[in-house]
Structure 1
Amino acid sequence: MSVSITPTGQTSAEITWEPGDDPQGYLARAVESDQLAYALEALGNGGTGPADAKAALSAAMHTTTLARLLERRATVQVVRLRDDHGLSWRQIASAIYDDPDRQSSVRRMYDSGRRHLGV
Protein backbone atom coordinates (compact mmCIF):
# COMPACT_ATOMS: atom_id res chain seq x y z
CA MET A 1 0.00 0.00 0.00
CA SER A 2 1.50 3.30 -1.01
CA VAL A 3 -0.76 5.37 1.26
CA SER A 4 1.06 5.39 4.56
CA ILE A 5 0.42 6.62 8.06
CA THR A 6 3.53 7.20 10.11
CA PRO A 7 3.24 7.81 13.86
CA THR A 8 5.19 10.98 14.69
CA GLY A 9 4.45 11.00 18.39
CA GLN A 10 2.19 9.44 20.96
CA THR A 11 -0.79 11.46 19.71
CA SER A 12 0.23 12.47 16.20
CA ALA A 13 0.77 10.95 12.78
CA GLU A 14 1.67 11.94 9.23
CA ILE A 15 -0.34 10.69 6.25
CA THR A 16 1.34 10.51 2.84
CA TRP A 17 0.26 9.22 -0.55
CA GLU A 18 1.42 9.29 -4.13
CA PRO A 19 -0.55 11.20 -6.79
CA GLY A 20 -1.50 7.89 -8.42
CA ASP A 21 -3.16 6.76 -5.18
CA ASP A 22 -5.78 9.49 -5.47
CA PRO A 23 -6.67 10.00 -9.15
CA GLN A 24 -10.13 11.43 -8.37
CA GLY A 25 -8.86 13.58 -5.50
CA TYR A 26 -10.95 11.92 -2.77
CA LEU A 27 -8.06 11.74 -0.30
CA ALA A 28 -7.12 15.35 -0.86
CA ARG A 29 -10.74 16.51 -0.48
CA ALA A 30 -11.22 14.42 2.68
CA VAL A 31 -8.21 16.16 4.21
CA GLU A 32 -8.87 19.67 2.86
CA SER A 33 -12.58 19.70 3.77
CA ASP A 34 -11.94 18.35 7.29
CA GLN A 35 -13.98 15.19 6.59
CA LEU A 36 -11.09 13.04 7.74
CA ALA A 37 -10.44 15.19 10.80
CA TYR A 38 -14.08 15.06 11.89
CA ALA A 39 -14.30 11.31 11.26
CA LEU A 40 -11.15 10.67 13.30
CA GLU A 41 -12.44 12.94 16.04
CA ALA A 42 -15.71 10.98 16.14
CA LEU A 43 -13.71 7.76 16.30
CA GLY A 44 -11.66 9.09 19.19
CA ASN A 45 -14.38 10.72 21.25
CA GLY A 46 -17.08 8.13 20.67
CA GLY A 47 -19.10 10.44 18.46
CA THR A 48 -19.99 12.93 21.18
CA GLY A 49 -18.87 15.83 18.98
CA PRO A 50 -18.74 19.54 19.73
CA ALA A 51 -21.07 21.08 22.32
CA ASP A 52 -22.18 23.86 19.95
CA ALA A 53 -25.14 22.74 17.78
CA LYS A 54 -23.83 24.33 14.56
CA ALA A 55 -20.39 22.76 15.00
CA ALA A 56 -21.97 19.42 15.92
CA LEU A 57 -24.07 19.49 12.73
CA SER A 58 -20.97 20.25 10.67
CA ALA A 59 -19.06 17.42 12.34
CA ALA A 60 -21.92 14.98 11.72
CA MET A 61 -22.24 16.04 8.09
CA HIS A 62 -18.52 15.64 7.38
CA THR A 63 -18.31 12.30 9.20
CA THR A 64 -21.39 10.92 7.45
CA THR A 65 -20.24 12.07 4.02
CA LEU A 66 -16.92 10.28 4.46
CA ALA A 67 -18.64 7.19 5.89
CA ARG A 68 -20.91 6.97 2.81
CA LEU A 69 -17.94 7.27 0.49
CA LEU A 70 -16.10 4.54 2.40
CA GLU A 71 -19.19 2.33 2.29
CA ARG A 72 -19.31 2.67 -1.51
CA ARG A 73 -15.60 1.87 -1.72
CA ALA A 74 -16.11 -1.21 0.47
CA THR A 75 -18.80 -2.52 -1.88
CA VAL A 76 -16.42 -2.14 -4.81
CA GLN A 77 -13.75 -4.02 -2.83
CA VAL A 78 -16.22 -6.89 -2.39
CA VAL A 79 -16.72 -7.00 -6.18
CA ARG A 80 -12.94 -7.16 -6.63
CA LEU A 81 -12.59 -9.90 -4.01
CA ARG A 82 -15.22 -11.99 -5.75
CA ASP A 83 -14.51 -11.26 -9.43
CA ASP A 84 -10.76 -10.64 -9.50
CA HIS A 85 -9.61 -12.95 -6.71
CA GLY A 86 -12.30 -15.64 -6.94
CA LEU A 87 -13.04 -15.69 -3.22
CA SER A 88 -16.20 -17.41 -2.04
CA TRP A 89 -19.09 -15.58 -0.39
CA ARG A 90 -18.20 -17.44 2.78
CA GLN A 91 -14.55 -16.30 2.72
CA ILE A 92 -15.54 -12.68 2.14
CA ALA A 93 -18.21 -12.77 4.88
CA SER A 94 -15.70 -14.25 7.29
CA ALA A 95 -13.17 -11.50 6.54
CA ILE A 96 -15.62 -8.59 6.57
CA TYR A 97 -18.08 -9.61 9.27
CA ASP A 98 -16.08 -12.23 11.15
CA ASP A 99 -19.08 -14.45 10.41
CA PRO A 100 -19.02 -16.79 7.41
CA ASP A 101 -22.80 -17.20 7.62
CA ARG A 102 -23.44 -13.58 6.61
CA GLN A 103 -23.12 -14.45 2.96
CA SER A 104 -26.39 -12.73 2.01
CA SER A 105 -25.05 -9.44 3.39
CA VAL A 106 -21.93 -9.85 1.26
CA ARG A 107 -24.05 -10.58 -1.81
CA ARG A 108 -25.98 -7.35 -1.23
CA MET A 109 -22.67 -5.47 -0.96
CA TYR A 110 -21.55 -7.15 -4.18
CA ASP A 111 -24.71 -6.11 -6.02
CA SER A 112 -24.32 -2.55 -4.74
CA GLY A 113 -20.66 -2.49 -5.79
CA ARG A 114 -21.54 -3.63 -9.29
CA ARG A 115 -24.08 -0.80 -9.53
CA HIS A 116 -21.40 1.70 -8.44
CA LEU A 117 -19.09 0.32 -11.10
CA GLY A 118 -21.83 0.56 -13.71
CA VAL A 119 -21.78 -3.17 -14.43
Structure 2
Amino acid sequence: MSVSVTKTSGHTAQINWEPSDDPHGYLAASVEGDQLASALSALGSTDDLADDAESLAVMVRHTTELARLLERRAAALVVSLRDEHGMSWPQIADRVLGDPDKHSSARRMYDSGRRQLGL
Protein backbone atom coordinates (compact mmCIF):
# COMPACT_ATOMS: atom_id res chain seq x y z
CA MET A 1 0.00 0.00 0.00
CA SER A 2 1.40 3.33 -0.94
CA VAL A 3 -0.97 5.59 1.02
CA SER A 4 1.25 8.12 2.72
CA VAL A 5 0.71 10.95 5.15
CA THR A 6 3.58 13.40 5.09
CA LYS A 7 4.04 16.21 7.56
CA THR A 8 4.88 19.13 5.31
CA SER A 9 5.57 21.99 7.72
CA GLY A 10 4.31 23.26 11.03
CA HIS A 11 0.86 21.84 11.51
CA THR A 12 0.17 20.74 7.95
CA ALA A 13 0.23 17.38 6.24
CA GLN A 14 -0.34 15.96 2.80
CA ILE A 15 -2.12 12.68 2.06
CA ASN A 16 -1.26 10.80 -1.14
CA TRP A 17 -2.58 7.56 -2.57
CA GLU A 18 -2.78 5.78 -5.89
CA PRO A 19 -6.07 4.59 -7.40
CA SER A 20 -4.97 1.00 -6.79
CA ASP A 21 -4.82 1.79 -3.04
CA ASP A 22 -8.53 2.61 -3.06
CA PRO A 23 -10.29 0.03 -5.24
CA HIS A 24 -13.63 0.51 -3.45
CA GLY A 25 -13.38 4.30 -3.37
CA TYR A 26 -13.49 4.56 0.44
CA LEU A 27 -10.60 7.01 0.65
CA ALA A 28 -11.92 9.25 -2.08
CA ALA A 29 -15.44 9.21 -0.65
CA SER A 30 -14.23 10.05 2.86
CA VAL A 31 -12.30 13.04 1.51
CA GLU A 32 -14.94 14.25 -0.94
CA GLY A 33 -17.77 13.77 1.59
CA ASP A 34 -15.92 15.62 4.38
CA GLN A 35 -15.94 12.59 6.70
CA LEU A 36 -12.14 12.62 7.01
CA ALA A 37 -12.00 16.37 7.65
CA SER A 38 -14.75 16.13 10.26
CA ALA A 39 -13.08 13.22 12.05
CA LEU A 40 -9.73 15.02 12.11
CA SER A 41 -11.39 18.17 13.40
CA ALA A 42 -13.05 16.16 16.15
CA LEU A 43 -9.69 14.65 17.12
CA GLY A 44 -8.02 18.03 17.22
CA SER A 45 -10.32 19.92 19.56
CA THR A 46 -12.14 19.48 22.83
CA ASP A 47 -14.25 22.60 22.32
CA ASP A 48 -17.42 22.96 20.28
CA LEU A 49 -16.26 22.59 16.71
CA ALA A 50 -19.10 24.43 15.01
CA ASP A 51 -20.98 27.67 15.59
CA ASP A 52 -24.42 26.09 15.44
CA ALA A 53 -26.05 22.81 16.39
CA GLU A 54 -26.78 21.78 12.80
CA SER A 55 -23.16 22.17 11.70
CA LEU A 56 -21.99 20.27 14.77
CA ALA A 57 -24.54 17.49 14.08
CA VAL A 58 -23.23 17.14 10.51
CA MET A 59 -19.68 16.92 11.83
CA VAL A 60 -20.70 14.25 14.33
CA ARG A 61 -22.53 12.31 11.59
CA HIS A 62 -19.47 12.43 9.33
CA THR A 63 -17.19 11.33 12.15
CA THR A 64 -19.54 8.48 13.06
CA GLU A 65 -19.80 7.33 9.44
CA LEU A 66 -16.02 7.17 9.15
CA ALA A 67 -15.69 5.38 12.49
CA ARG A 68 -18.20 2.73 11.37
CA LEU A 69 -16.38 2.21 8.10
CA LEU A 70 -13.07 1.84 9.93
CA GLU A 71 -14.61 -0.70 12.32
CA ARG A 72 -15.89 -2.75 9.38
CA ARG A 73 -12.52 -2.57 7.61
CA ALA A 74 -10.69 -3.60 10.80
CA ALA A 75 -12.96 -6.63 11.15
CA ALA A 76 -12.29 -7.65 7.55
CA LEU A 77 -8.56 -7.31 8.15
CA VAL A 78 -8.80 -9.56 11.21
CA VAL A 79 -10.18 -12.24 8.87
CA SER A 80 -7.00 -11.89 6.82
CA LEU A 81 -4.80 -12.14 9.93
CA ARG A 82 -6.49 -15.39 10.92
CA ASP A 83 -7.21 -17.05 7.57
CA GLU A 84 -4.28 -15.91 5.42
CA HIS A 85 -1.56 -15.34 8.00
CA GLY A 86 -2.51 -18.07 10.50
CA MET A 87 -2.37 -15.91 13.61
CA SER A 88 -3.81 -17.41 16.79
CA TRP A 89 -6.59 -15.69 18.74
CA PRO A 90 -4.22 -14.53 21.50
CA GLN A 91 -1.79 -13.18 18.87
CA ILE A 92 -4.55 -11.26 17.10
CA ALA A 93 -5.91 -9.97 20.41
CA ASP A 94 -2.47 -8.82 21.47
CA ARG A 95 -1.58 -7.10 18.21
CA VAL A 96 -4.99 -5.62 17.42
CA LEU A 97 -6.51 -4.98 20.86
CA GLY A 98 -3.34 -4.71 22.94
CA ASP A 99 -4.26 -7.58 25.26
CA PRO A 100 -3.78 -11.30 24.49
CA ASP A 101 -6.57 -12.15 26.95
CA LYS A 102 -9.14 -10.39 24.74
CA HIS A 103 -9.26 -13.30 22.30
CA SER A 104 -13.05 -13.50 22.51
CA SER A 105 -13.24 -9.89 21.29
CA ALA A 106 -10.87 -10.80 18.46
CA ARG A 107 -13.17 -13.72 17.56
CA ARG A 108 -16.17 -11.39 17.48
CA MET A 109 -14.28 -9.08 15.11
CA TYR A 110 -13.42 -12.10 12.97
CA ASP A 111 -17.03 -13.28 12.87
CA SER A 112 -18.20 -9.79 11.96
CA GLY A 113 -15.59 -9.55 9.21
CA ARG A 114 -16.60 -12.92 7.76
CA ARG A 115 -20.26 -11.82 7.66
CA GLN A 116 -19.30 -8.59 5.89
CA LEU A 117 -17.20 -10.51 3.38
CA GLY A 118 -20.04 -12.96 2.75
CA LEU A 119 -18.04 -15.95 4.00
| Stretches of structure 2 lacking an aligned partner (at least 5 in a row) | none
Aligned to 1:70: 70
Cα distance change of structure 1 residues 63 and 97 upon mapping to structure 2, 3 Å threshold:
same
2:80 counterpart of 1:80: yes
Aligned to 1:97: 97
Q: Which residue identity does 1:102 align to in structure 2?
A: K
Separation in 2, partners of 1:34, 1:105: 31
Indicate the RMSD between aligned Cα atoms, in angstroms.
1.1
Contact 1:30 1:66 (8 Å CA) reproduced: yes
Cα distance change of structure 1 residues 89 and 47 upon mapping to structure 2, 3 Å threshold:
farther
**TM-score of the pair, normalised by structure 1:** 0.95
| Stretches of structure 1 lacking an aligned partner (at least 5 in a row) | none
Q: CA deviation at 1:46?
A: 3.8
Separation in 1, partners of 2:46, 2:70: 19
Q: CA deviation at 1:52?
A: 1.1
State the identity as a percent.
60
2:43 counterpart of 1:53: no
Q: CA deviation at 1:44?
A: 1.1
Contact 1:31 1:37 (8 Å CA) reproduced: yes
Cα distance change of structure 1 residues 47 and 93 upon mapping to structure 2, 3 Å threshold:
farther
Aligned to 2:115: 115
2:35 counterpart of 1:35: yes
The count of residues paired between Structure 1 and Structure 2 equals: 119
Contact 1:41 1:47 (8 Å CA) reproduced: no
Separation in 2, partners of 1:95, 1:51: 40
